[in-house]
Structure 1
Amino acid sequence: MKFIRLATIAALSTTILAGAATAVSADEVREVTTNGQIQFSADEEGPLEVLPPETEPGVTIPPEVEGTTGPLSIVKAATMNFGSQVISNQDQTYNMVAEVANLADGSGQVPYVSFAQVQDVRGTNEGWDLQVSLSDFTSNTQNNVLTGAEIEFVDSRIQYEGTNTENAPIAHSAGLTLLPNGAARSVMTAAQGQGAGASSVVWGDQEDLNAKFADDEIEIVENEAIQLSIPGSTAKDATTYTSTLTWELTSTPGDEV
């Protein structure tokens, strides 16, 4: 009886396999789909690197604050030097001395456009607002405040490091003015759904700066996109006046600029 039982089981197994084979050949499958998946998360500790807005000349620029990390940070801001000027009793406007950047090959420095850069790797598309404010130009001399001085951003453009241009933020309107101790002004704003990745508001024309740098008759290369105006009636001492620009990034989108 034991032998018969085993033989019966074997016969049943053969029948099931034969039936399965018949079903496959009756309904051929020549194409199937499967799924692929990747999940991203915001990196709050990963270091951020400045992405120069101009590809030529090739330069390397360190972050404004060493060790800056994500997910939402200012990685670069503009430093403004308006040079050494002769005291004047007339209203005067001075162009900014062009900032310089180190060439990537280590061969020296070149004048480079000024810019402020925000990097947003939150992955939430919530938007943000970059503002700047200006303190008084002061010294430690008798006439210690440059009364009436103001900085003007003559013109600007946006450099967005992303393939979807609809995500690009917007820059301030031409002629934006900073008044000492006045309200902070928006220079670059990303509305809801904009600003993911790296975005720069750029002041200056790199081709113009290159041409001036190549001209042996020009000793100081100026960036005409940022200017300082001082009334002639303001008393000025023979000294250096300094001011502080405060750049602030908020995660709440501001009004359009």
Structure 2
Amino acid sequence: MDAASDESISSGTLKYLGSDWETPPIDPEKPKNEVEPGGEIVKTEGLLRLDLVPQFIFGPQAVSTEDQVYYSNAQLFKGDTPARANYIQLSDNRGSLEGWQLTVRQETQFMNEHAQTKELSGAVLSFDKQWGNSTTNQEYQPTIVKDAIKISEIGATYPIAIAGKGKGSGTWTIEFGSSGSVEGIENTLTPVINADGKPVTDPTVEDKPMYKNSAVALFVPGQIAKDPVKYSTTLTWTIAVL
């Protein structure tokens, strides 16, 4: 005699949630490690966002009538993380794999509205030796501009990286230079030493030793007027859908 049998149908469901919560800053040379950068953290929100943009500080310099190239202070962190080259961090959690483009624009020349000489005419900011890193599979890495980026035209937009369709998902860092901890990536950091040959430290970041990063440079012509004041500019970093 045949045994009676019954059949029933069940279902399985899966729902993807957009990861639009904050992504903490990560070590650009050891991206599995979260870090706490010294200084202000500037970021945007959304599924496609900038988690951290670099702040370039060239520090006090003597007034000179000779052409000068100044290097940016490297990025310092609280805790045990050593100094790193300046970097930008971004996340693409849209899940669409549509791609994106990262650009930078310098809004003004280095200026001080209260000085007699209000701008450093002819000053040129430049970035070099940029490279990308992520905990994501490297086959998804965006294409990063490899040539030095010289911002010779104020207000013009300069590409930094492009993620074509199917690329750039997850969280990525783009570092300008390196501390030399990653094999095959040139070290661009040098310690800042005072007149006595001792390391200069940053009191705002746990008195950690300061470094200069030769991959981020500011050229200032000698034969322009300049006052003994602070000059500054504004950079706009944009991440946009292709």
- Same structural fold, with TM-score higher than 0.5 when normalized by the shorter chain: yes
State the distance in 2 between where 1:238 and 1:72 align: 41
Identity between Structure 1 and Structure 2 (%): 25
TM-score by length of 2: 0.78
Determine which of 57, 61, 85 is the counterpart of 1:85: 61
Aligned residue for 2:127? 153
Determine which of 205, 230, 233 is the counterpart of 2:178: 205
Change (3 A) 1:100 1:150: same
Deviations 1:53-110 (A, max 9, x none): 12299732488347x5431100111100111111111111111111211126xxxx85
Deviations 1:29-59 (A, max 9, x none): xxxxxx9763323244x23222221229973
Answering whether residue 48 of structure 2 is matched by residue 48 of structure 1, we say no
Q: Is the 8 A contact 1:120 1:195 kept in 2?
A: yes
Answering whether residue 83 of structure 2 is matched by residue 111 of structure 1, we say yes
Aligned residue for 1:166? 139
Aligned residue for 1:190? 163
Answering whether residue 149 of structure 2 is matched by residue 176 of structure 1, we say yes
Change (3 A) 1:82 1:211: closer
Answering whether residue 2 of structure 2 is matched by residue 19 of structure 1, we say yes
Aligned residue for 1:141? 115
Aligned residue for 1:246? 236
Residue-pair matches, total: 217
State the distance in 2 between where 1:211 and 1:137 align: 25
Q: Which of structures 1 and 2 has the larger relative contact order (alpha carbons within 8 angstroms, sep 6+)?
A: 2
TM-score by length of 1: 0.74
Aligned residue for 2:46? 70
Q: Is the 8 A contact 2:188 2:215 kept in 1?
A: no
Task: Please report how far the alpha carbon of residue 228 of structure 1 lies from its aligned counterpart in structure 2 after TM superposition.
Answer: 0.4
Change (3 A) 1:71 1:155: same
Q: Is the 8 A contact 1:58 1:103 kept in 2?
A: no
Q: Which sections of structure 1, spanning at least 5 residues, go unmatched?
A: 1-17, 24-34, 253-257
Aligned residue for 1:95? 71
Aligned residue for 2:103? 131
Cα RMSD after superposing both structures: 3.0
94-103 vs 235-244, greater mean Cα deviation: 94-103
Task: Please report how far the alpha carbon of residue 211 of structure 1 lies from its aligned counterpart in structure 2 after TM superposition.
Answer: 7.1
Task: Please report how far the alpha carbon of residue 196 of structure 1 lies from its aligned counterpart in structure 2 after TM superposition.
Answer: 0.4
Displacement over 6 Å in runs of 4+: 213-216
State the distance in 2 between where 1:95 and 1:144 align: 22
What's the secondary structure of 2:139's corresponding residue? helix
Aligned residue for 2:15? 39
Structure richer in helix, relative to its length = 1
* Corresponding letter in the other structure for 2:140: N
What's the secondary structure of 2:136's corresponding residue? coil
Answering whether residue 38 of structure 2 is matched by residue 59 of structure 1, we say no
* Corresponding letter in the other structure for 2:27: P
Change (3 A) 1:248 1:93: same
87-96 vs 56-65, greater mean Cα deviation: 56-65
State the distance in 1 between where 2:177 and 2:199 align: 17
